[in-house]
Structure 1
Amino acid sequence: MKLIKFTVAVLLVMFAVNVNVKADDLNKKKMEQVTKEILDMMVKGDNTSEKLRKYISEDWLDSKKLNVKKYLINNYSPESFEILYAGGDVCVATIGGSSWQHLLVFKFTEEYGAYKVVPRGISEASSEYIDPWNYVKDYICNSDKIEEPVPPEENK
């Protein structure tokens, strides 16, 4: 009888713990690693578009009936980046230079054990490019918009 109670208790604890774990959640470390690889390529700028093709979801390409070899993969030329968050199926990062900063959100899927990005789609800027990120917010910080404060007028 004690064995049955113990077994039921263990099963209840396992169930309670697993309730908070979503089956669709991907591994945060793997998403961060792939995001780092992608952003490192952008910083280095060595044939980035060609190298980024391997990170595009094959399932997404099939669903859109696209041949990745017929497209360039859109990218930036940042001086630096910072990964801010990874969770669920997204990884959020900022990229930037001395006077600008963009926010990028990469959406991930797991295909045959590899983490691939689910692109936003064909770039709005040019139909020759696929945007690998799922969302972008341009110029979240831009030094061109910074104005020097005006000194207060003195009482005359």
Structure 2
Amino acid sequence: MSTSKIVVCPHCHRPNRVPEARLGDQGRCGHCQQVLFDGTPTVLTAASFDRHIERSELPVVVDFWAPWCGPCRAMAPAFAAAARQLEPAFRLAKVNTEEEPSLAARFAIRSIPTLALFRQGKEVARQAGAIDGASLVRWVRSFD
């Protein structure tokens, strides 16, 4: 019997059931027909955040950041590269705390960048401060 996972589309934010064996096959959303994994972090807003965190059966790594933050901008290329390495086992996402202050407050984000790992709707790990790409990938994979 084949097992499947619920994957939330990064474009239309609708859930899709994908056979686990096909996660890496460049599958498309059954609703909007966009690719489910494109190797880039998903931008989350207050409107889309809960759907990705609560409905996705993939662990989600969220980078809470702001455009004025130098360390955030410096870490952005490493975070994007990590998305290419870690998909489809993990979904990497970004929350702009300037545009989404309610999410920053909800998760008590006191410094940025802050990485938070969510699994089955719950935060399971947090890492404050900028880290390099290799350390980021190692940190995420330690929760696999």
Query: What TM-score does the superposition give when structure 1 sets the normalisation length?
Result: 0.29
Give 1 or 2 for the bigger CA radius of gyration.
1
Which structure dedicates a bigger proportion of its chain to helix? Answer: 1
Query: What TM-score does the superposition give when structure 2 sets the normalisation length?
Result: 0.30
Higher relative contact order (CA 8 A, sep 6+): 2
